[in-house]
Amino acid sequence: MTPVTARPLPNRASPLDVERLRRDFPILETRVGGHPLVYLDNAATSQRPRPVVDAERAFDLMHNSNVHRGVHTLSLEATEAFDAAREKVRGFINAREATEIVFTSGTTAAINLVAASYGRRVLQAGDEILLTEMEHHSNIVPWQLLREVTGAVLKVVPVTDAGELDLGAFQALVSRRTRIVAVTHASNVLGTVNPLRRIVEVAHAHGAVVLVDGAQAVAHVPVDVQALDCDFYAASAHKMYGPTGIGFLYGKAALLEQMPPWQGGGGMIHAVSFERTTFAPPPARFEAGTPPISQAIGLAAAIDYLGAVPAAALAAHELHLLHQASERIATIPGVRLIGTAPDRVSVLSFVVDGVHPHDVGTVLDARGVAVRAGHHCAQPLMLRFQVPGTVRASFGLYNVDADVEALVSALGDVRRVFG
């Protein structure tokens, strides 16, 4: 198998040919209500390019078989492709070993795995789990469930009015009882990119491990788990131009080796008898049952696709769209931005005075503009900003200036419809 290297360093001289990239996404040719589709819901699910769809389709049509333990040709081919996909993920986030990559159904499953396996093993009554106000429900609820069975205590780091993590409060809240710090890399509502390296340093100094929810970051910023020194990192393929139904958990080898299984079944055992079962080493120990094979191959294709896009040019393009949209929307009477931190990925949330976010989203959809409206699975953050929800526009590599113009124009229609 050809070794896969980490994501290459950004080439600041490389241009981003957005029009060429758009041709890889046939769905962008769709019309909604007679209008060209303007897809600005990338933070929920990004679209898939032809190479990703083709990779899955080729496997399904020509190589479909179950992996591991098979001795026939199709099984061997499937196993080789599946194992190569794990190596792709390792290289993408610069993990030390491919065995540190566990395939899951997505970020939610990855976080639940850590809570159910690592958390139950190490936590005792009175131990502390530190979260932040900007977390997605997937990085809140698993820890609440863990609290109920262990007697652990949840503590929450506040967010400033600008949508930044209050680092002073974080440092004050970390204590000798802190065992786990669970924090998002980038907020799915605010777009805020958190200072992970500093967070990890402080947590480790107090003996705590750090789990990072990377769902909103991996498609927008280079991730190097060794440089970050985080203990766990979770992400989903469908937010990085890959298929739904698959994601991954990175865990430091020493931690994964100590963790018990969280699900039982085929593929995760060494030997089974009615008296006793012994378990396979990581990552197989955490991958009970038939894995998402074609989806893993689609994820590998998505990594290849992202790896071919100049990283610096992509970041500049997305930030250009974010800043342009922020400036234009901020001038519309009655529209208020939520989250203005200087370091953000391309996520923009706002509210329209007197109009429910769902109504805004419906009017925009009638103009062909697809956004997300609601609490975005971040109800504690909505409470923090005293809003029932927001409208969220999120930009990806295929969005263009005309998409921003369409969003602004449709928001003008919202004002006309609702006065």
d(C-alpha 307, C-alpha 241), whole Å: 12
In the residue annotation, 377 being an active-site residue is answered as yes
d(C-alpha 210, C-alpha 178), whole Å: 10
Half-sphere exposure of 353 (CA within 13 A, CB side): 7
End-to-end CA distance of the chain: 62
d(C-alpha 49, C-alpha 44), whole Å: 16
Q: Are strands 38-39 and 369-370 parallel, antiparallel or unpaired?
A: parallel
Q: Which of 160, 109, 104 lies closest to 132 in space, CA to CA?
A: 160
> Which one of the listed residues 167, 370, 377, 408 is annotated catalytic?
377
d(C-alpha 266, C-alpha 285), whole Å: 10
> Order of strands, edge to edge, in the sheet holding 347-352?
335-338, 347-352, 390-394, 372-374
User: Which residues are paired to 157 by β-bridges?
Assistant: 132
Distance of CA 61 to the CA centre of its chain: 29
d(C-alpha 84, C-alpha 6), whole Å: 14
d(C-alpha 92, C-alpha 176), whole Å: 34
d(C-alpha 40, C-alpha 404), whole Å: 9
d(C-alpha 119, C-alpha 142), whole Å: 10
DSSP output for 268-282: SEEEE-SS-EEEPPT
Q: What are phi and psi of 181, to 5 degrees?
A: -115, 120
d(C-alpha 239, C-alpha 242), whole Å: 7
| CA separation, residue 111 to residues 72, 107, 118, 213, 233 (Å) | 35, 6, 10, 8, 9
The residues annotated as belonging to the active site are: 377
